[in-house]
Structure 1
């Protein structure tokens, strides 16, 4: 008989699984919805020392007292942390681990690192050691900061708000310790596509060559998708039950190929550009033109998130080196910044890195500080929002290539700081050069359309360069005349706005 232990997101309890658990039991499954210490109707048991180890022991006790010999442990969001801890202690009782719209915790990392709500991450980063104040649940209008509430009925959202309880702070700040004893257990990832995750995005991460994702290319690892938001037990309880039963049966998409020895992003740049002198200062590489007077500058901002484990880092990727050399060849300083956008919680830090890089570039005596352009790529385009919203007089142009212009719901970036569609409404006459590819990911295409609609509403100056037969990252993939023409046109347009 299939048996499930269901462990939910922070501030909730076993009650949240009610409808899904009922469906599972109707199928003949044994079901154990977990209400962890201090949560749900066990709120009164919370103590200042309630921590992640407490919650791991709660799950261990459910495993030990379940009648079935083999269990499927399901971790939703935060719940994957106590699930993994319990699986390490009872690997012989676990038939499968299910990551339900959950991140991939690392050994030694606290759960707060994967909490999507930026406000919680900021608060806990500033909270003094030893401060045991719990993390309050969100207000009724703030649940989207924790993940998409797509398809959640109003009465279910009201119940979620009413029954949510404060989360003991040490459950989020105590590091998760993983020895590897459960590493070989079969696993399934259930991805909620309305929350911004998908099998396509997982495959893209594997192709980046991040060593953390190599384990996903394994016959024992499967993936299933649910077309709903982060709370499927509220928005699609029957569908969730069906997907959980499929996961328990070992169904799911398998990743068939690991990252190639030479990932596509390390391929040759699509143009032969003469080498230029390169100088490195901190996180910034300057590619310098032949000039005796100060020149305009283009600052290139890579996308991401890109794991800190990926080598070489983006400023050494052929595409960015190629763009910077091309700018220098045409008479501008090409600057590439290695910002620290390593995870979805790093956008604030990446924004600071970009601002510092711009200051460094403008302070260089070889740069005309009054003629600077910023050029953003992919997920780095979210960092353009603040520059668009209040462009300084020296910023002559913003460019974006295959951009992500709105964060997925599950990233927790709910305010306008990282929403270029909001920023462009006050960009005034600042020129924007947008390169979009025809073979783009659907989730990226939708954000570009949102941006263009906002730009049209306010009369923003947006030049669109279309590359119909090109892919995301086309500069090292699609060596076609059409692609080369698009890069040439975009570069000359940007430099034209710089008066170069």
Structure 2
């Protein structure tokens, strides 16, 4: 039995995994969807990037989890990738779901085409938070109008410091046992930093023919991929 710790992307909480969780539980695994500090029901809790890393490590240790599969979607690949090396022999694997990946000394926004200038400006203009995205942001990703409305309704402003503070890695990310899920709808190729990691014998690539939020658009298919990472 594996224990899945699920962390959704920016502005989202544990609720984003509601349609994935039942499939993992039905297969007999432990499932721990996590809301990072400052988001959803944890709004108001101060958070920097290392806070989110510690949130994940604390969940693993508090629940005394073994055979842990850490799952990070979008932004959350950054803290998940850092947490993975800190949980030691509790780790069974990491799954990056169409996510960013951490680079030592680099912030989340460093991989953006403009180096994060627009994101930083938005954070500064919104009291230190990255504001909730409008419905139009989610169009073209295989989502229904109802699914888009649900995401927008459940989203909360994202603590800006988590996006601008640098990642801290002690070992090469390529050493982790990792699966990278690339959602190909609209953006079929992995980013350059991910492509370099996929050369590692410890990494593998799986493609999903859907958009950036597969936990909503294809929850059953995503759950099956997660199950396949450890075997049923």
Q: How far apart, CA to CA, are the structure 1 residues paired with 2:184 and 2:155?
A: 24
> In structure 1, what is the equivalent of residue 216 of structure 2?
234
- CA shift for structure 1 position 103: 2.8
Tell me how far 1:115 sits from its aligned partner.
Answer: 5.6
Residue 80 (structure 2) aligns with: 83
Tell me if the contact between 1:132 and 1:170 (Cα under 8 Å) persists in the aligned partners.
no
- How far 1:104 sits from its partner (Å)? 3.0
Deviation string 1:133-174 (CA, Å, 9 cap, x unpaired) is: 211111222335xxxx52212211111111100001101011
| Displacement after TM superposition at 1:105 (Å) | 2.5
Find out whether 1:169 has 2:169 as its counterpart. Answer: no
Output the CA distance in 2 between the equivalents of 1:31 and 1:171: 25
**CA 109–41 in structure 1, closer or farther in 2 if over 3 Å, else same:** same
User: Which structure would you say has the larger RCO, counting Cα contacts within 8 Å and 6 or more residues apart?
Assistant: 2
Contact 2:108 2:163 in 1 (8 A): yes
Deviation at 1:32, TM superposition (A): 0.7
Partner residue in 2 for 1:155? 146
- CA distance in structure 1 between the partners assigned to 2:92 and 2:77 by the alignment: 15
Alignment of 1:270-309 (within 5 A): none
Aligned to 2:135: 140
Task: Spell out, residue by residue over 1:238-291, the C-alpha distance to the aligned partner (whole angstroms, 9 max, x if none).
Answer: 0110011112349xxxxxxxxxxxxxxxxxxxxxxxxxxxxxxxxxxxxxxxxx
Contact 1:95 1:185 in 2 (8 A): no
Q: Does 1:58 align with 2:67?
A: no
Normalising by structure 2, we get a TM-score of 0.89
4+ long deviations beyond 3 Å: 118-121, 125-128, 212-215
1:34 aligns with 2:34: yes
| 1:99-248 aligned within 5 A | 99-114=96-111, 121-124=117-120, 133-144=128-139, 149-180=140-171, 183-198=174-189, 213-248=195-230
CA shift in 2, pair 1:79/1:115, >3 Å: farther
CA distance 1:11–1:168, shift in 2 (3 Å):
same
Q: Distance in 2 between matches of 1:82 and 1:178?
A: 10
- Structure 2 unaligned residues grouped into runs of 5+: none
8 Å CA contact 1:10, 1:167 repeated in 2: yes
Number of residue equivalences: 231
| Runs of at least 5 residues in structure 1 that lack an aligned partner in the other structure | 251-500
CA contact (8 A) 1:78 1:115 kept: no
Aligned match of 1:92: 89
Q: How does 1:307-326 map to 2 (within 5 A)?
A: none
Please state if 1:72 is matched with 2:72.
no
SS in 2 for 1:189: strand
Secondary structure of 1:194's partner?
A: coil
Distance 1:214 1:169, change over 3 A: closer
Measured on the aligned residues, the alpha-carbon RMSD in Å equals: 2.6
Distance 1:123 1:184 in 2: 31
Counterpart mapping for 1:247-396 below 5 A: 247-249=229-231
Q: Which residue of 2 aligns with 1:275?
A: none
Q: Matches of 1:182 and 1:64 in 2, distance apart?
A: 22
